[in-house]
Amino acid sequence: MKLDYLQALKRIDDARGAWVLHGQEPLLEQNLIDAFRQSWQKQDIERQRYDISSVSDWKNVFNALNSLSLFSTQLAVEVHGNIKPDASSLKLLKSYLQQDSNNLLLVVMPKQDASSLKSSFFQTVEANGVCVALTANYPRDRQQILAVEAQKLGIQLANDAWQWLEQHHEHNLLAAKNSLMRVRDTFPDLKQIQIEHLYACLQDQSRYTTYDLSDALLAGNLAQSIKIFQYLTASGEPMSLILWSISKEMRLLMQLFEQPQNALQLGIWKNKVSTYQQAVRRLSPQTFLSWPALLLNIDAAIKGVSQDNPEQLVQQAIASLCGRPLFAV
C-alpha cells in the first residue's frame, strides 16, 4: 500500500507489519518519526533502533523482530540506512510479514531512484505493508502540510501570506515551519497572519525589500526599480520571490484594467487605489496582453528549463510594468 504523508499521520497508532519511509523532506521525516515514537510510548511498545551499515545488519533486525520481548508484548524496530536486504534477508522479511505479527518494522531511507523503487524489497513492502513517499511536489500539498503545522501553533495565514511564505523559502518546508514559529512568537495575539506580518518578521533588514520594488514599479520609476532589483539580487534575494512580487502587481493591474470599479474587491488597499489607477492609465492594453507570456518565460528561465537569462527577462518585465523602454535607464 502507498500512502502520502498526511494519510500516514492518521494511521500511525494502528501501524503493524512493515512500513518504509523514503524521501528528502526532513520536516516530513522528523514529524512522522516523532509521531511514531509518541505512539509507541503511549501504547507501551518497546522500541529498538538499528543503523544499517552493511547487508549483514539486516539479520540482527529480523532476529529482534522474531524474538519475544522481555519488556513488552509489542516491539517496534526502527531501522535507518540506505542498504536494502539481500536475497536471504528478503526471505526473512517475507517470513516476518506472513506471521501477521503485532510488531512493527519501520525503515527510514533517503530519496530512492526509480529503479530502487522497483526492487524486490520495495515491491514486497508495497504488497504486504506500507510505503510512504516523503515528498510534497505540488503547492497544494505543501500548503496542506504547512496548514497542519500552523494549526499546531494556533495560527492561521491569509492566502497570499501562504504564497509569500512558500516563495520566500523556495519550497523548503522545514525552513517554512521555523518561520511559522517565529511569526507566532513575534505576533502572539494575532488570529490571522497577513503578508505584511511575514514581511515585518522575516524580510531581511536590508536597505531595500520587495515591497520597495513594488512601490517603485507602481510609481513607474524605472531607474529606481532597476536599482532596487540589482540590490535585491546582489543581497541574495531568491529570484522566484522577486518574480512573485512582479507577477502579483501585474495580475492586480490586469484585473483592475478589466474591472476599474472593483479595486477594493480585488484586494487593493484603500490607500493604494489611486496609485494602481494611475499605473493602469499609464499602460496600454497591448502591454497587458504581453505579460502572461513574459511571466512564463521568466519562470522557465529561473527553473533552468530555457536558455534565457532570467535577470535580463526580469528587467524587461520591470521596464514593461513601468511603461518605459529598458534602454532609457
The lowest-confidence range among 132-146, 204-218, 236-250 is 204-218
pTM of this structure: 0.58
Q: What mean pLDDT do residues 324-329 have?
A: 60
Q: Containing domain of residue 312, as a range?
A: 210-328
pLDDT greater at residue 86 or residue 191: 86
Q: What mean pLDDT do residues 140-165 have?
A: 85
Same-domain status, 129 and 75: yes
Cα–Cα distance between 222 and 328 in angstroms, integer?
A: 8
Instruction: Answer yes or no: is pLDDT of 287 > 60.
Output: yes
Per-residue pLDDT, 205:
47
> Rounded to an integer, what is the distance from CA 263 to the centroid of its chain?
31
- Give the residue from 134, 161, 181 where a domain finishes: 134
Query: Quick check: 205 and 294 in contact, CB under 8 A?
Result: no
Query: CB within 8 A of 291, min separation 6: which ones?
Result: 250, 254, 317, 320
pLDDT in tens, 168-192: 776 678 878 888 888 888 888 887 8
- pLDDT over 70, % of the chain: 95
Question: Cα separations (Å) of 198 from 4, 33, 239, 323?
Answer: 29, 29, 18, 30
Per-residue pLDDT, 206:
47
Same-domain status, 114 and 231: no
Say which CATH number the domain at 33 has.
3.40.50.300
pLDDT in tens, 140-150: 888 888 888 98
Same-domain status, 267 and 177: no
Same-domain status, 77 and 190: no
Q: What mean pLDDT do residues 191-201 have?
A: 83
Same-domain status, 195 and 264: no
Instruction: Answer yes or no: is pLDDT of 209 > 50.
Output: yes
SS3 82: coil
| Average pLDDT value for the chain | 86
Say which CATH number the domain at 191 has.
1.10.8.60
Say which CATH number the domain at 222 has.
1.20.272.10
Assign 20 a pLDDT band (cuts: 50, 70, 90): very high
Per-residue pLDDT, 136:
83
Return the DSSP state at 193. E
For 79-130, the DSSP string reads EE-S----HHHHHHHHHHHHTT-S-EEEEEE----HHHHTSHHHHHHHHHSE
Instruction: Answer yes or no: is pLDDT of 116 > 60.
Output: yes
Same-domain status, 50 and 146: no
pLDDT in tens, 67-85: 766 666 788 999 988 888 8
Q: Which among 154, 40, 156 is positioned nearest to 103, based on CA atoms?
A: 40
Same-domain status, 214 and 321: yes
- When divided into structural domains, the chain yields a total of 3
Per-residue pLDDT, 166:
77
SS3 265: coil
Assigned C-alpha cell, 51? 543503523
End-to-end CA distance of the chain: 59
Per-residue pLDDT, 250:
93
Assign 327 a pLDDT band (cuts: 50, 70, 90): low
Same-domain status, 234 and 324: yes
Which secondary structure element, helix H or strand E, spans residue 174, and what is its range?
Answer: helix 173-186
Same-domain status, 282 and 216: yes
Assigned C-alpha cell, 243? 518574480
Same-domain status, 215 and 318: yes
Per-residue pLDDT, 245:
87
Q: Which among 141, 108, 111 is positioned nearest to 125, based on CA atoms?
A: 108
Instruction: Answer yes or no: is pLDDT of 197 > 80.
Output: yes
Per-residue pLDDT, 329:
39
pLDDT greater at residue 1 or residue 191: 1
In the chain, % helix, strand, coil (3-state, to 5) comes to: 60, 10, 30
Same-domain status, 223 and 197: no
Per-residue pLDDT, 174:
80
Which secondary structure element, helix H or strand E, spans residue 169, and what is its range?
Answer: none
The C-alpha cell 484586494 sits at: 267
Same-domain status, 231 and 311: yes
